[in-house]
Amino acid sequence: MPQTTNTNNEALGIYPMTAAKRGICLIVNNYNFNSDSHQKREGTILDEECLDKVFAWLGFVVEIKRDCKSEEMLSVLRELGSRNHSLMDCLVCCILSHGKEGCVFGVDGNHVPIKELTKPFNGLNCTSLADKPKLFFIQACQGTIEQKAVNICTDGPARSDDSIPSDADFLLGMATVPSFVSFRDIKKGTWYIQSLCQNLVQMVPMGSDLVSILTKVNADVSQMTKSVGVRKQMPQPAFSLRKKVVFPIPEAPPPSLPH
């Protein structure tokens, strides 16, 4: 029999954030590549430092893995998925690396599909994270094409039951849309991660939910322009969230970040 559609008008729920610790925030930071086809990712240490400060401020236990080969990346994620997260509210995983469409690279130059990175945390493989948000932020190119600027003409002045799908409750924040590059400043870090950190610090104290914060990241990064030529970047969040992700406002003052 076909399932009837649930169209009740109840307000969108919010994922509980009541644990002593929000959860684990894993940062995989690939800088020094062994492959001739991939350069060192200068500036990525600044991204790591900012993510560390911001997610620690938000109540996460931050773990950092540097310069992982492809198999090590998979091993690290699988080990994290095998842990008991029952006393945690959610999970965050930040991957900083080179990439191409649908995958990221280990420092050995071998690729890892992004779906293999998220797989250890689905409802079948990690039951202690079922019904909890799993938040992935991927700073990596998704191709080799550089986005061009587009001039805009305007008409106005310028300016049910208890079961859930196994892949529910994921958010995948990508630095760029498929097929395109993302930009990294060797002194200031990447456009995407720096904007993410700045907006978390500014908007969490306002009570903003994560999708709204990522929409602001989209707006901010879309306004940036690479100095050599007119090149743009468009981040892209995708999610199977069923509720809002609203981080509790920390009692501690927000960390100081570079501008």
Strands 111-113 vs 103-105: parallel, antiparallel or unpaired: antiparallel
- Tens digit of pLDDT for each residue in 81-128? 999 999 999 999 999 999 888 899 999 999 999 999 999 999 999 999
pTM summary value: 0.86
Domain boundary assignment for the chain? 23-144+166-239
Q: Which one-letter amino acid corresponds to residue 139?
A: Q
E-state strands within the chain: 23-29, 60-66, 90-96, 99-100, 103-105, 111-113, 134-139, 143-145, 147-148, 170-174, 179-180, 184-185, 189-190, 231-232, 236-239
Catalytic site residue from 98, 103, 126, 197: 98
- Tens digit of pLDDT for each residue in 201-220? 999 999 999 999 999 998 98
Q: Is 98 a catalytic residue?
A: yes
Evaluate if residue 156 carries a pLDDT over 50. no
Place of tokens 């930040």: 94
Catalytic site residue from 68, 93, 126, 141: 141
**Max Cα-Cα span within the chain:** 59
Q: Which one-letter amino acid corresponds to residue 180?
A: F
3-state secondary structure (DSSP) of residue 81: helix
Higher-pLDDT residue of 108 and 153 is 108
Per-residue model confidence (pLDDT) at position 101 = 85
Q: Which one-letter amino acid corresponds to residue 176?
A: T
Q: Is 126 a catalytic residue?
A: no
Place of tokens 């191709």: 143
What mean pLDDT, rounded, does the chain reach?
85
Strands 103-105 vs 99-100: parallel, antiparallel or unpaired: antiparallel
Separation CA 71–CA 76 (nearest Å): 9
The CATH classification of domain 23-144+166-239, taken from the options 3.40.50.2300, 3.40.50.1460, 1.10.1670.10, 1.20.1090.10:
3.40.50.1460
* Neighbour-count burial of 231, counting CB atoms closer than 10 A to its CB (0-12 exposed, 13-18 middle, 19+ buried): middle
Per-residue model confidence (pLDDT) at position 79 = 98
Per-residue model confidence (pLDDT) at position 8 = 60
Highest mean pLDDT among 31-45, 68-82, 142-156: 68-82
- The mean pLDDT value for 43-58 works out to 95
Strands 236-239 vs 170-174: parallel, antiparallel or unpaired: antiparallel
- Tens digit of pLDDT for each residue in 160-171? 456 777 788 999
For residues 129 and 84, the answer to whether their CB atoms sit within 8 Å is no
* First-last CA distance in the chain: 57
pLDDT above 90 covers what percent of the chain? 61
